[in-house]
Amino acid sequence: MDFGKLGVTRNFVLPALCIFLVPVISLLFFLHAQQQLNARYREAILKQIANDPTLNEEQRHEATAFHRAIPLSRLILQDEVAKSFDAETRFHFATFRWAIRLSIWSIAAGVLVLALAGVCVLFSMRSQRALALSLAVGWHVLRIYTAIQVLVQGVLLVALSFWVTALWFNLYSVKLIGLTALLAVVAAGTLIKGIFTVPKFSAEVEGEIFPKNHGAPIWKELESICATLGTEPPDQIIAGIDDNFFVTDAPLTVNGERYQGRTLYISLSLLKQLDGDEAKAVLAHEMAHFSGMDTLYGGKISRLEHRYDHYLQTLYEGGTTIPIFYFLNVFRFLFALSLGKHSRQREFRADGIAADVVSPQSNAKALLRVSAYSAYRGNVEQEVFDQESVLESTNLREKIEQGFAPFAQQFLSSADLDHIETAHPFDTHPPIADRLTAMGVSLRDRETTALLETKGDGKWYELIAGASEIESNLWRSYEERFLKVHEQSLPYRFLPENDAEREIVERAFPKMEFSCKKGLITIDDQSIAFAEWQDKLPWSDVGNCVLDDGTLKIHRESTAGGDLQIKMQWFRAAAERQQFLETFEKYLGRYKIAAEFQEQKCRQREEDSSAE
């Protein structure tokens, strides 16, 4: 996403202004319609005045000037005048009058909400508490406003669907009016669903739960750190193998069980790589988030964000509610800027506390080692995943543990620290270089560049009872999933050139046959064949495909043979039609993905050759 000035305007501001499109068009049209009706009646009234024998010249002049100056749309508001016109005329003027009012109110409300939401965004920059309060107020104001807007714009659209054709073409379409009314009802239903649906907020984390146990070594050390910081220890610890540490007040699901309260997640795989002071600095940093109520406000903000995002998704999928989606999305973007600002402040504060508890050098060393581990683990996993053959095993754990130390020693000389951030499931972190600078640690110092030359002693890893067994079990489960995903991806990489590749693809995409009134249809990983066609149609020759009025129309990229079609009525049962269409889409999609993958490989090889 482009977040430059032009990018923000194009991606957020201009789409958000679409919410004013219907009321502005309605306002202009109904002002025009009212003017037309005024002109029509003015002409009739002036003609009547001119031909009225009971009026003298002075009276005729005064009456003419009066009706030229004051339109009937204003005069008809008086009961005496209104009674002199039929019900249809009064209804027409009332319709125009209320359409104009609704349009003006809609535009004014939009401007007012823009201003109010802007104030909320500015106020949210003050503190985390202000951010949580602003997001809560903004959520309630925006959803009430959007509910009213959907109703008002629905009414305006229905009015337009009748009057545009009636005024300009002297006719009206019942189908057009009915369709517009149906779309308005669907939009209202979508909005109500989004407003009153409260999504469940619970992240799933893989690991082993350690409930609070004051006698366990890991808990003793944590309680000591918390006592220093003046905060309560977490309610539970989750030991896992991800490449990060984090704390949260948000509900978490572990092994099917939901846990509330303050949670600390520790990575066993990372603890093994850190020495005692590094691990203490990391945990002091995490406990500092508790002491600053970061997790308390973070949890409130996350739940509001989750509900806001769910509402946005509902509006985006509603079709006719797309303008509402873009209007709300601009504020979601602005609140995200505020959230990013507070996130950076939280991390700098926690880094400073960790540096005070241990030392700036130990905290810097921990940050660098965690970043190096995350980068190295990502490299190893990508390298294994890129292998284009069926794997018997991955040995990820062994490869990472054996190769990490030499990688870490040269990490500072090869990494772009201006863009490296530590991983976190719920938050964003400033780049490592900024965090080190804030602690007064310079990357140019020899002392800093030598920080990762020695291996960590894994002291805190030994404080966790059964750590080795827990870690082994978690890695075993992770590698099994990794193998499964890798195997599932292989058929989408090949345009088979040998028996091994062909076996992989055909095992996942075997030949399928479908019988219809016109003969047999055969689909495999290379092509689709039909008894009605002279030759097989290779997937490489398939362009745009459209299901139009029960006929699958297949555009051929080559000119030979022309386009092809398969009518769904040729199948005997609806289930057979559905299975055929799903298979067609699946096999064609696989080929297109594999072709794009092979093309990217060729481009990458060319770029690598040019670089050499």
* 96 or 445: which leads in pLDDT: 96
d(CA 164, CA 156): 11
User: Amino acid identity, residue 543?
Assistant: G
Please state the domain extents for the chain. Answer: 5-196, 208-293+344-487, 499-611
The dotted CATH code for 499-611 is: 2.30.29.30
d(CA 150, CA 324): 8
What pLDDT is recorded for position 119? 86
Residues 203-221 have a mean pLDDT of 86
- At 73-85, the pLDDT tens digits run 888 888 887 787 8
Position 401 pLDDT exceeds 70: yes
The CA radius of gyration of the chain, in Å to the nearest whole number, is 34
Closest CA to 492 of 390, 605, 592: 592
d(CA 567, CA 294): 61
Query: Which segment, 79-93, 165-179, 387-401, is predicted with the most confidence on average?
Result: 387-401
Mean pLDDT of the chain: 85
Share above pLDDT 70 across residues of the chain, in percent, rounded to a whole number: 90
Position 2 pLDDT exceeds 70: no
Across the beta sheet with 519-523, what order do the strands follow? 512-516, 519-523, 527-530, 537-538
Q: What band does 455 get if pLDDT is binned at 50, 70 and 90? A: confident
What pLDDT is recorded for position 609? 76
**53-57, 297-301, 344-348: lowest mean pLDDT where?**
297-301
**143-147, 225-229, 302-306, 414-418: lowest mean pLDDT where?**
414-418
- At 284-321, the pLDDT tens digits run 999 998 887 777 777 677 777 777 788 888 777 776 77
Tokens 């008894």 — which residue? 531
Read off the pTM: 0.74
- At 228-279, the pLDDT tens digits run 999 989 999 999 999 999 988 888 889 889 998 889 999 999 999 999 999 9
What pLDDT is recorded for position 480? 94
Buried b (16+ CB within 10 A) or exposed e, 373-397: bbbbbeebbeebeeeeeeeeebebb
How far is CA 195 from its chain centroid?
Answer: 18
How big is the chain, counted in residues?
A: 612
Position 496 pLDDT exceeds 50: yes
